Amino acid sequence: MNILDAIHARRAIKHYDPAHRMTEDEVKTLLTAALQAPTAFNIQHWRFVLVSDPEVRKQIRAVAWNQAQVTDASLLIVLCADKDAWKKDAARYWKDAPQPVQDFLVPAIGQYYAGREQVQRDECMRSCGMAGMTIMLAAKALGYDSCPMDGFDFDAVAKIIKLPEDHVISFMIAVGKGTQPAWPKPGQLPHDEVIVQNTF
C-alpha cells in the first residue's frame, strides 16, 4: 500500500480481534518506523510504552471509559515523552554529525529550551503526534487497524505505568486486527474552510 492510500484508508477502529497476535517482526517493523519520525533538534524524546500485560491492560481500560480496544487490540502503545531529554547528554543526539554541526547545534539545544517549560511540553506533544501518525500509517501499510486515544484519565494511567516525574503522556494508540469496518466519514470540512492562503 502506498503512503497516499494508507492516509485515505486509515480510520479510528474501535473493535478488534482479541485472539489475534502480531508477530515480533511486525511489532519491530512498526516501532522501527516510529523511530523515523522527526523531533526538534533530533532529541528523540518520545518513549513508547508497550502494554502487553493483560492485568495492566485491564487497569487501563477501567480508567479509559471501559473502551474495548484497550484490552482487545494486539498492541496498546502509550506515547510518552521525556520533557528533560534536551538536557540529558545532548551531545549524543549529534554524535555522528560533522564537528561544525555539533559545535553549533548542541549548545543551541540548551539555549532554546532552558527556562521554557511550556515550550518543552509543547515539543513533547508535537513529537508524539508525528510519531503517532507514523505508527498508524505504518500499521495500515502492514494490514492492521489503529485507534488514537485521549479518552482516559491521564493521571491514573501515569500511575499505572509508573510514569517518571519528568515525563508526560501525549496519547495512546491501539493497533490490531479490526473486526468491524469504520462508519462512513462523518463530515469532512471543505478545503476553502480549512486551507488559508498566506494570511487569515
CATH number at 103 reads 3.40.109.10
User: Quick check: pTM over 0.85?
Assistant: yes
77's enclosing H/E stretch is strand 75-82
Confidence of residue 183 (pLDDT cuts 50, 70, 90): confident
Which residues are paired to 78 by β-bridges? 49, 172
For the record, the C-alpha cell of 193 comes out as 474552510
Share of the chain above pLDDT 70, in %: 100
> In total, how many domains does the chain have?
1
Please check whether residue 190 lies inside any domain of the structure: no
For the record, the C-alpha cell of 183 comes out as 462508519
Confidence of residue 83 (pLDDT cuts 50, 70, 90): very high
Rounded to whole angstroms, how far apart are CA atoms 78 and 149?
9
Please check whether residue 187 lies inside any domain of the structure: no
Confidence of residue 118 (pLDDT cuts 50, 70, 90): very high
Q: What confidence score (pLDDT) does residue 120 get?
A: 97
Q: Could you tell me the CA-to-CA distances from 50 to 57, 80, 99, 170 in Å, in that order?
A: 10, 11, 36, 14
Q: What confidence score (pLDDT) does residue 200 get?
A: 95
Q: What confidence score (pLDDT) does residue 1 get?
A: 84
Q: What confidence score (pLDDT) does residue 102 get?
A: 97
Burial of 18 (0-12, 13-18, 19+ CB in 10 A): middle
Residue-number span of the structural domain to which 97 is assigned:
3-179
Rounded to whole angstroms, how far apart are CA atoms 56 and 52?
8
**Mean pLDDT calculated for residue range 153-176:** 98
**Mean pLDDT calculated for residue range 49-78:** 98
Q: What average pLDDT does the structure give for the chain?
A: 97
Please check whether residue 189 lies inside any domain of the structure: no
